[in-house]
Each structure stands twice: as structure tokens, then as C-alpha cells.
Structure 1
Amino acid sequence: MKISVLGCGRWGSFIAWYLASKKGYDVYSWGPEEDYSYQVLKSTGKNEYVALDPRITLTCDLEQAVGHADIVIISISSQGVRGFIDKIKAFNVSDKTFVLCMKGIEVETGERLSEILVEKGISKDKIAVWVGPGHIQDFTAGIPNCMVIDSHNVELKKFLADNFKSDLIRFYYGNDIVGTEIGAAAKNVMGIAAGVLDGGGVSTLKGPLMSRGAREVARLIKAMGGNELSAYGLAHLGDYETTLFSRHSHNRMYGEMLVKGEKFQKLAEGVMTAAAMKKLGEKYNVELPITDAVYEVCFHDKAMDGSCMDMILKLFSRDTKFEF
């Protein structure tokens, strides 16, 4: 089985390392030549997370990486997927399987990432998503976790999960790609809210955030035609510890720094996902109060005027209602 991982940032470099060192596959790891992550790996053979395994071939030649692979794993910024697929489609990809490892929703369209690939002419039976809890720092320290692979194609997700599993990652077969993708993306929004609570000194409120956040996402998943129980699976609720509590979480740290009036320099996917989810809530007529509050603090400079915490705490002044 020939595998290429497109994107050599923190998650892409980990996946290449995992499949090479833990599973023994020969893996091509691609990044654009001008990209900082690629240059670090090229010049030092490692980054702050992993070292290049001898089975990994590092390349900046996209055609070479795509042509090598039976399975193309994509790990880039979720908002860049549409344009990136256009570049890939310049090559013959009719026999390729695509695995998406990003957690996001396209902000302009509200489309799930797998929907974008289908829209670009890739068969939905050739597409899978790989999501769920786990930080690279923990995995590389030997701490195991559980993740999920989902697809419209039952045989494909079983094949990938069975061939990618190890004593480091236990995979489950997903059974609701709508819920899996929406849940995985939405947990980053909840991560920002958790960071605001941490930065504001009210971390105990993360318990209610976990419960009500999952209910909020479940309502959206159901309205979109998915199974609302997916919000309580690995892709969403199962990823909460990693996102709402870990010092490694970019989204949690973004929220914590935001409420303190500081700027987070790395990628926090939950920012654009909040904007995308807000649009989806309006489209499907679903109340998303936590999402709306996160959107306000991210896009309306609430940190600058000192009302960042007020937006989150305003959730507690909502009308009393039955929990379920």
C-alpha cells in the first residue's frame, strides 16, 4: 500500500511518522517548497514533534507525491481545501483514495470538507475522514488514544481503520459522516469558549460548556440530516478533553489569550468554523448560542473593548428551559 501525506505541518508530519514508524509503510510527505514546515524538515530532518523516519520520502513535488500514492492523506488548513483539490485534479487521481484529516467547515459555503471533494468530481466512495481525540505530544510520548475513520463507503472505512490501527491508536468505524465531520469541526469552537473561561478565571464552567455544547452541536447535526448521537461520539464529545482542557490545544489557547488581550500566532481552526457554523445555524434555523458567542468574541473585537467574558457569561442569563 503506497501512501502520501499532503501537508507537513504538525498533524501531517505526525501522520507520516505514525504510518512509517508504527505501521511500516513507505510514505511520501509533501509540503510546498516555500513553506516553513517543509523547510525545517528538509534542513534538519525533524521538527518540534517528530523526526523523519527512514521510510519517509520528503518532497515538494506535488505531482510526484500524488502519483506515488494509492492513498492520499490530506492535512492542510481546512479553508484551503477547495483550491488545493483544484491543483491535485491536474493529475490523474481517478484511482486514488482520499483521506481528510482536517477538522473544519468551509466558511463561504458551509460545506463539509468531503462535500467539497465530491463537488470537485471525486467519488464519495473514494473519500474518508480521519478525526478524533489525540495530541501529537501525547502520541509521540507513547500515550494511546482512540480515533474514528468515517466514509460513505463501509468497506473503505473498515479497510483503513483495520490497516492503520496499532497499540498507539485504536480506531472505530464511524457510521455518520455528516455528524462525524460537523462534530469534529465544532469541537474547535467549543475549545475557544473553554479558553475564554480559563483566561477569565472561571474554568469550573467548562463542565456546563461540555454538556450544553454537545447538545448544541447535536441539534445542528440532526437538522443537517445526520444522527444527533454523533455529537456524543469520539469526533466531538470524545475530543473535548483534548480540546477543552489540554495545554497543547491551539483553540483553547487562542481563547485564553483572546480574553487577556493577547494575540495567538498559530492556526486556530475554530475561528473560521465559528463563522461557518453561525451561517449553518441560520440556514437550518437551529439555535447555536455558544457558537454565536464565540463568533462575537472572535470577529467583533470583544477582547479589545473588554467585553469578551461578558459575551460568554451572557449565556447564563438566557431564559430557563427544560434541559432536554
Structure 2
Amino acid sequence: MKIGIAGGGAFGTALAVALALDGNQIQLWARSASAVAEMQRTRSNPKLPGVDLSQNINISAALDPLFACDTVLLAIPAQTLPAFLTTHMDRLDGKNLVACCKGIDLKRMTGPASTIRDLVPGAVPAMLTGPSFAADIARGLPTALTLACADDEMGAILQTALSTTSLRIYRTTDTVGAELGGALKNVMAIASGIAIGARLGESARAALITRGFPEMQRLALALGAQTDTLSGLSGFGDLVLTCTSEGSRNYRYGLALGTGAEFDQNTTVEGAATARAVRQLADELDIDMPICTVVADLTDNKTDVTTALNTLLSRPLKEE
């Protein structure tokens, strides 16, 4: 199986490094020709300091080598994924397309695997998700991920192809649960960062994580996900990681909101867009999503941190 990776950021590059360790030839595509030239020259990516790119990784800004692969990992932001798929749908037709991004498309209101299914109907859509930081993957540290593919036979093939000595891949056919678990945990990570940034303490963060998880489940189950998926790596596992570590961009964004600090506008924060999508879905489906709604209002500048926290703390008392 020829494996290509679309996206030369930290996560796409980390996957290339991990997959190349076992001797696989990996095609890595990045949009910026200048960034590609620098990566070719130094055999490194500045977003992954101290990590060498082996000669098994062919780095290119040209799309032809990428489209020559029968399996393409899509490590590009969820909000730009539809444009990429639409632009190249003819050349992606018939391929195994594995989404490696997490979020809900604001225009289509779908997760990455569903977006692939809708825009490239001749492809096999799949989702690779779970508790993982690019730096850990690139350094060869043990990482467990979920590979979701509705076609279980192809899912098993992809599971074998993407598993390495450091990447342990678990398989499911529940693509909806996998994509929603990965998307919704980013919103909770922002909320957790806000709690710590506002100096509410570790106990408040634990409460947010605990109450945030059933909130995730309510929406996911309403949209057809399976309960076990949300309780696994792509849901609860990813939730714990991103809500407790500054390695998470969404958590760092929440910290900035909580402290009133500036945040790098060039950093992709999928949870901000996801929160707005969730607020709309929750309204349409009449589902109570207080944490997601507050985060959406904050990222839209419709409220401030103090008011948002008071809104959550003043909710009616009820049974757990």
C-alpha cells in the first residue's frame, strides 16, 4: 500500500516520521514550496524541533506524487478540508481517504469522515483519531489511536498498514462517534483552559471534564454514534489528554481566554469553530449543551469570562 500524507504541519509530519520508521516509503505533501525546500534541505520541520526526517519520506509541494498513492492521510484543518476535497475530487476518487483532523465543518455541519463521504463518494472514507500529540508520535513514544471506517474489511487493511512499533491502532466502524469524539473534546479543552486561566482551580477543571463528557455523549448519540466509541480512545481518552496538557492548542487557547492574554492568531484552534457548530446543532436538536454554548459565545465575543462562568455556576441544581 502506497501511503501519502496531505499536510506538512506538525501532525502530518509526525505521522510521516512514525510510518517511515518501519521502512515504509511515505509521500508527504505540503502546500508551501518554500517550506518544502527548507524541509528537504534540513531534513527537519521547525514545528517538530529535534526530529529528523528520514530519507524514506519524500517531501514535495507537487500534488502528482501524493495522488499516485492509493491511501491518503488528510492532515489538514477541518475547516479547509472541504475545499481540498472539492478541488481535487476527481483525483481522489477511488482512494482510501483517512481524515486526521478533528472538527465540525461550519458550512456542512459534518465531521471529517462524513465530509469525505459526501464530497468524494467514490472514495473509502476513514478517520484516524485519539489521544495524541505530534511531538510524542514523532519521538516514537507509545501512542494508541482509533481507526474508524464503515467498511470493516478495508478498516482492517488500514489498521495493519498504519500500525507501527509505536503506533497501536484500534478499529471501529463507528465513524460518527469517532469524528464527534475528536471534535467535541476540543471544545471541552478550551473550557478547561479557561477554568485554569481564570484560577478556578484543579477541582473546577475536573468538574468541567466530568460534566463535559455526558454533554459530548448527548449530541453524539443524537447524531447516531455508539456509546462505546465515546467511552474509548477517540472520546474519553482524547478528552483527558487535551483538557490537562498545555501540549493542546485548544487548551492553550482557553488559558489565554481565562487570563486575558493574547493568543497567536496563526495557530489553528479547531475547538473554536466546533463550538459554534455545536451551538447551532444543539439548538436545532433541542439538546442541552451549556459548556459548548458558553465556549461558543466566548469565542464569538458575545460574552466575557466572568459572565460565562457565572452562567455555568448559576445553573439549576439537579441530580447527577
Provide the TM-score with structure 1 as the length reference: 0.91
Secondary structure at the aligned position of 2:31 is classed as coil
Partners of 2:38 and 2:258 in 1: CA distance: 32
Which stretches of structure 1, 4 residues or longer, exceed 6 Å deviation after superposition? none
Counterpart amino acid of residue 131 in structure 1: T
Q: How does 1:57-68 map to 2 (within 5 A)?
A: 57-67=58-68
Counterpart amino acid of residue 322 in structure 1: E
Counterpart amino acid of residue 171 in structure 1: I
* Aligned partners of 2:131 and 2:233 also within 8 Å: yes
Cα distance 1:247–1:35, how it changes in 2: closer, same or farther (>3 A)? farther
Aligned to 2:181: 183
Question: C-alpha deviations, 1:162-200, integer Å up to 9, x for none?
Answer: 232233122111242111111110111011001101111
Counterpart amino acid of residue 82 in structure 1: P
Secondary structure at the aligned position of 2:233 is classed as coil
Aligned to 1:11: 11
- Structure 2, unmatched stretches of 5+, are none
* Aligned partners of 1:224 and 1:284 also within 8 Å: no
Counterpart amino acid of residue 280 in structure 1: L
How far residue 313 of structure 1 moved from its aligned partner, in angstroms, is 4.2
Partners of 2:14 and 2:206 in 1: CA distance: 30
Question: C-alpha deviations, 1:36-84, integer Å up to 9, x for none?
Answer: 5x454244221241322110111111133112x0111111111011110
- Structure 1, unmatched stretches of 5+, are none
Question: C-alpha deviations, 1:82-129, integer Å up to 9, x for none?
Answer: 1101222242x33311111000110122112222222223246x1110
Partners of 2:136 and 2:307 in 1: CA distance: 34
Aligned to 1:162: 160
Aligned to 1:114: 113
Counterpart pick for 1:314 among 301, 311, 317: 311
Counterpart amino acid of residue 167 in structure 2: I
Aligned to 2:198: 200
* Aligned partners of 1:219 and 1:228 also within 8 Å: no
Cα distance 1:61–1:242, how it changes in 2: closer, same or farther (>3 A)? same
* Aligned partners of 1:148 and 1:173 also within 8 Å: yes
Partners of 1:127 and 1:274 in 2: CA distance: 24
* Aligned partners of 2:18 and 2:166 also within 8 Å: no
* Aligned partners of 1:4 and 1:72 also within 8 Å: yes
* Aligned partners of 2:193 and 2:254 also within 8 Å: yes
Aligned to 1:104: 103
Partners of 2:38 and 2:262 in 1: CA distance: 24
Partners of 1:232 and 1:209 in 2: CA distance: 17
Provide the TM-score with structure 2 as the length reference: 0.92
Partners of 1:316 and 1:197 in 2: CA distance: 12
Counterpart amino acid of residue 188 in structure 1: N
Percent identity over paired residues:
28
Counterpart amino acid of residue 62 in structure 2: D
Aligned to 1:85: 85
Q: How many residues align?
A: 314
Question: C-alpha deviations, 1:262-307, integer Å up to 9, x for none?
Answer: 22211111010101111111122111100001011111164xxxx3
Aligned to 1:74: 74
How far residue 3 of structure 1 moved from its aligned partner, in angstroms, is 0.8
Alpha carbon RMSD of aligned pairs, Å? 1.8
Question: C-alpha deviations, 1:227-285, integer Å up to 9, x for none?
Answer: 23432211121112320111211000001012222222111110101011111111221
* Aligned partners of 1:130 and 1:149 also within 8 Å: yes
